[in-house]
C-alpha cells in the first residue's frame, strides 16, 4: 500500500491502513471551539448560583472566587470572550463565502438541506425498529447542524439580554419598563436551556454515546480515524475515495484537504 504525502508516495504496510486519519477540524476552528467552551463553562459556573440563590451550597462558588463582585467581573469577562468568539466566527463565515465565490452550500455545508429532514425521518424509523440501518450521512449530519445552529439562536438572546442587565440604568432610560424583567427572564431561562442542551444533547452525541465513550478526541486533535469517517460520514468518505481514485491514490489527509466539501475544514467548511 502507498500513501500520498504532498507529491511523494510513501510505502506503508497494509496493517497501518486502519490507523490513517483525516483532518476534521483545523487549528483555527479548534481555537474557536476552545474559546466557546471555556467562556461557556465560566459563564455557567458563575451564573447558576445567581439563578438558584435558594441552593445554599452553590454560594460556595462565589466564596471560592472572592465574593459576588469578583464573580460578576469574571462572568462579564467570559461574556466578552464569547461575544468576541461569535464575531470572529461571523467574519470567518464571510471569508469562506468569498473564497467559494458565493456558492452558498459549498462555503457553508452546515446549512440545512432537504436530505437532513430525510435523514432525521430515516433515523427515527431506525430507532423505532422499522428501518434496518441508519441513513448514510455526509460531512455534517442533522444532529451536528442542530448543535451548531443552537448557538446562533442562543448567543444573540444571551448577548442582548445580558447587556441590558449589565447596564440597567442606560437601557432603563431608553426602553419600556418591562424590558429589564424580560431580559432577566430571557437570560436566565436561555442559560438553563443552553446548559441542558449541552449536557443532555451535545455531550451524549459527541462523547457519551457507545461509539464515542468516554470522549471524542476530534476537538483536541482535529482528526477523525478512517473507521469513524466510514461509519459516521460514509458519503463524505466515498467522495474522498472517488477523488483519490481519480488521482490514482488512496484517500488520505491530503485528499481530504482538496476534495470539495471534504475533511479539510480550514479551507472550505464550517
How do the domains of the chain map onto residue ranges? 20-268
Per-residue pLDDT of the chain (270 residues; tens, 9 = 90+): 444 333 333 444 444 445 688 889 999 999 999 999 999 999 999 999 989 989 989 989 999 999 999 999 999 999 999 999 999 999 999 999 999 999 998 999 999 999 999 999 999 999 999 999 999 999 999 999 999 999 988 999 999 999 999 999 999 999 999 999 999 999 999 999 999 999 998 999 899 888 888 889 999 999 999 999 999 999 999 998 888 787 755 555 444 443 334 444 433 333
SS3 128: coil
Q: Which residues, 6+ apart, have CB-to-CB distance to 68 below 8 Å?
A: 62
Pick among 1.20.950.20, 1.10.3470.10, 1.10.240.10, 1.10.10.10: CATH of 20-268: 1.20.950.20
Taking the C-alpha atoms of residue 267 and residue 216, their distance in angstroms, rounded to an integer, is 23
In 3D, which of 30, 154, 161 has the Cα closest to residue 92?
30
Q: Are 118 and 135 in contact (CB under 8 A)?
A: yes
Q: Does the model's pTM come out above 0.85?
A: no
Q: Are 263 and 222 in contact (CB under 8 A)?
A: no
Taking the C-alpha atoms of residue 203 and residue 196, their distance in angstroms, rounded to an integer, is 10
Whether a cis peptide bond, with omega within 30° of 0, leads into 57 is no
Amino acid at each position: 500500500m502507498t500513501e500520498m504525502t504532498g507529491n511523494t508516495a510513501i510505502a506503508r504496510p497494509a496493517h497501518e491502513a486502519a490507523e490513517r486519519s483525516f483532518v476534521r477540524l483545523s487549528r483555527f476552528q479548534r481555537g474557536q471551539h476552545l474559546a466557546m467552551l471555556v467562556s461557556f463553562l465560566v459563564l455557567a459556573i458563575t451564573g447558576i448560583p445567581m439563578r438558584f440563590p435558594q441552593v445554599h451550597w452553590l454560594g460556595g462558588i462565589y466564596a471560592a472566587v472572592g465574593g459576588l463582585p469578583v464573580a460578576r467581573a469574571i462572568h462579564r469577562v467570559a461574556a466578552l470572550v464569547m461575544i468576541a468568539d461569535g464575531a470572529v466566527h461571523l467574519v470567518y463565515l464571510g471569508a469562506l463565502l468569498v473564497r467559494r465565490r458565493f456558492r452558498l452550500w459549498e462555503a457553508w455545508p452546515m446549512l440545512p438541506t432537504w436530505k437532513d429532514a430525510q435523514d432525521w425521518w430515516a433515523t427515527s424509523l431506525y430507532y423505532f425498529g422499522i428501518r434496518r440501518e441508519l441513513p448514510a450521512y455526509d460531512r455534517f449530519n442533522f444532529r451536528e447542524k442542530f448543535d451548531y445552529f443552537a448557538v446562533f439562536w442562543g448567543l444573540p438572546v444571551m448577548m442582548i439580554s445580558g447587556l441590558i442587565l449589565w447596564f440597567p440604568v442606560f437601557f432603563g432610560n431608553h426602553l419600556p419598563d418591562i424590558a429589564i424583567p424580560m431580559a432577566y427572564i430571557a437570560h436566565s431561562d436561555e442559560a438553563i436551556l443552553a446548559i441542558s442542551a449541552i449536557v443532555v444533547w451535545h455531550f451524549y452525541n459527541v462523547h457519551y454515546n457507545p461509539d464515542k465513550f468516554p470522549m471524542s478526541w476530534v476537538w483536541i486533535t482535529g482528526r477523525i480515524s478512517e473507521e469513524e469517517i466510514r461509519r459516521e460520514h460514509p458519503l463524505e468518505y466515498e467522495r474522498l475515495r472517488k477523488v483519490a481514485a481519480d488521482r490514482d491514490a488512496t484517500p488520505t489527509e491530503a485528499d481530504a484537504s482538496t476534495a470539495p466539501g471534504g475533511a479539510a475544514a480550514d479551507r472550505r467548511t464550517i
